[in-house]
């Protein structure tokens, strides 16, 4: 066992020579990534994984401070459409997160809502949504969060679909942080969490998400109309990562959406799975969009007939 080369030990301790040429650094990084990928199906070094979680927590707290300071202030809008807003603060928060992650280890690329750094097709990557719930945040509604995940690949020899090994969702307005790492139970502010046991639609607290496109709205409205009379209550909360964390923590029972992006759901979905829930999701296209039914582990079959087909 002592001779095994562990996944995160490789990436977190990979030296970077500041005097090396950029092409040499890129080659070294790719060699490191290939070594990491080959060990993804082996036991992970829990110490290094915990170190990565500490860094993600630092990054989330840094972005959360920016969010808290600016909740009730006027905000510069970089882009705006009927159902979506992009803020200058979205970009600034992602840069803050990227700096913490890159200071920790510059070899790991970042796939973020506000842009990518490095080669995000590499077998190891961070996935970041700096402000999930931007429209809420723009209007001064304190229901938004930071979402950070770390992924690798599960297949042999570095081939296979990316597999999440760390997830974090942070609500800076309630100072609540949900976390999970591979093979460990999920926690909120250090407390173990689990979904509730509701099995019937009539006792279900259901969140439904509506993406920003007309097509997604048209597809999800029938699901809303079909379920609003069958469940306890339907909630449209506007922050997918928080809805997933709330299912993991027993506050909601299920969450459905079509057209949601990977950075909105990957961390919260992993936290839900590690808490014992069900994170059912299917890719819609190559633009990181998904169809999702997340639930407490008992409701997928009851909700699936209402979900629009891919």
pLDDT tens sequence across 15-67: 434 333 344 434 444 444 444 444 433 334 788 899 999 999 999 999 999 99
| Chosen domain end from 184, 210, 237 | 184
Predicted local distance difference test score (pLDDT) of residue 21: 37
C-beta of residue 78 within 8 angstroms of C-beta of residue 88: yes
Residues 140 and 223 in one domain: no
| Chosen domain end from 184, 214, 248 | 184
Residues 239 and 277 in one domain: yes
Determine, yes or no, domain membership for 121. yes
Determine, yes or no, domain membership for 36. no
pLDDT under 70: residue ranges of the chain: 1-44, 153-160, 287, 310
- Residue 276's domain comprises 201-306
Determine, yes or no, domain membership for 114. yes
Predicted local distance difference test score (pLDDT) of residue 306: 96
Number of domains in the chain: 2
Supply angle C-alpha 304, 307, 309, rounded to 5.
110
C-beta of residue 307 within 8 angstroms of C-beta of residue 258: yes
CATH number of domain containing 67: 3.30.540.10
Residues 53 and 95 in one domain: yes
Q: Give me the residue label for tokens 């969490």.
A: 193
- pLDDT (tens digit per residue) in 228-258: 999 999 999 999 999 999 999 999 999 999 9
Residues 169 and 234 in one domain: no
Determine, yes or no, domain membership for 34. no
Residues 167 and 217 in one domain: no
Residues 50 and 179 in one domain: yes
Determine, yes or no, domain membership for 97. yes
254 vs 130, 138, 235, CA distance in Å?
A: 24, 26, 10
Determine, yes or no, domain membership for 6. no
Q: For 198, list phi and psi in degrees, rounded to 5.
A: -60, 130
Burial class (CB in 10 A: 0-12, 13-18, 19+), 21: exposed
Residues 227 and 298 in one domain: yes
Predicted local distance difference test score (pLDDT) of residue 84: 85
Predicted local distance difference test score (pLDDT) of residue 159: 57
Residues 96 and 174 in one domain: yes
| Chosen domain end from 184, 218, 250 | 184
**DSSP state, residue 48:** H
Helix, strand or coil, per DSSP, at residue 87: strand
CATH number of domain containing 255: 3.40.190.80
Of the candidates 149, 148, 250, 145, the residue with the CA atom closest to the CA atom of residue 193: 250
Residues 207 and 289 in one domain: yes
Determine, yes or no, domain membership for 174. yes
């Amino acid at each position: 066992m002592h001779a095994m080369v562990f996944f995160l030990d490789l990436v977190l301790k990979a030296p970077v020579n500041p005097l090396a040429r950029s092409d040499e650094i890129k080659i070294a990084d790719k060699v490191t990534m290939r070594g990491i990928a080959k060990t993804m199906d082996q036991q992970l070094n829990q110490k290094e994984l915990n170190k990565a979680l500490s860094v993600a927590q630092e990054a989330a707290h840094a972005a959360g401070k920016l969010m808290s300071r600016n909740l009730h202030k006027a905000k510069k809008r970089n882009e705006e459409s009927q159902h979506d807003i992009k803020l200058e603060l979205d970009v600034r928060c992602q840069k803050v997160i990227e700096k913490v992650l890159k200071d920790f280890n510059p070899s790991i690329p970042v796939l973020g809502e506000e842009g990518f750094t490095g080669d995000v097709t590499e077998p190891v990557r961070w996935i970041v949504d700096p402000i999930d719930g931007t429209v809420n945040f723009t209007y001064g509604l304190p229901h938004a969060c930071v979402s950070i995940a770390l992924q690798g690949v599960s297949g042999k020899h570095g081939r296979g679909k990316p597999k999440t090994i760390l997830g974090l969702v942070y609500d800076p307005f309630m100072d609540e942080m949900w976390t999970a790492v591979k093979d460990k139970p999920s926690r909120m502010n250090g407390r173990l969490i689990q979904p509730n046991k509701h099995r019937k639609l009539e006792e279900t607290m259901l969140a439904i998400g509506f993406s920003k496109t007309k097509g997604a709205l048209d597809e999800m409205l029938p699901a809303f109309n079909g379920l609003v009379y069958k469940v306890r209550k339907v909630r449209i909360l506007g922050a997918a990562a928080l809805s997933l964390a709330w299912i993991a923590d027993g506050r909601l029972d299920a969450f459905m959406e079509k057209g949601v992006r990977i950075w909105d759901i990957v961390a919260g979905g992993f936290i839900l799975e590690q808490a014992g829930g069900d994170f059912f999701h299917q890719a819609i296209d190559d633009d990181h969009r998904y169809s999702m039914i997340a639930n407490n582990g008992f409701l997928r079959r009851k909700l699936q007939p209402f979900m629009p087909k891919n």
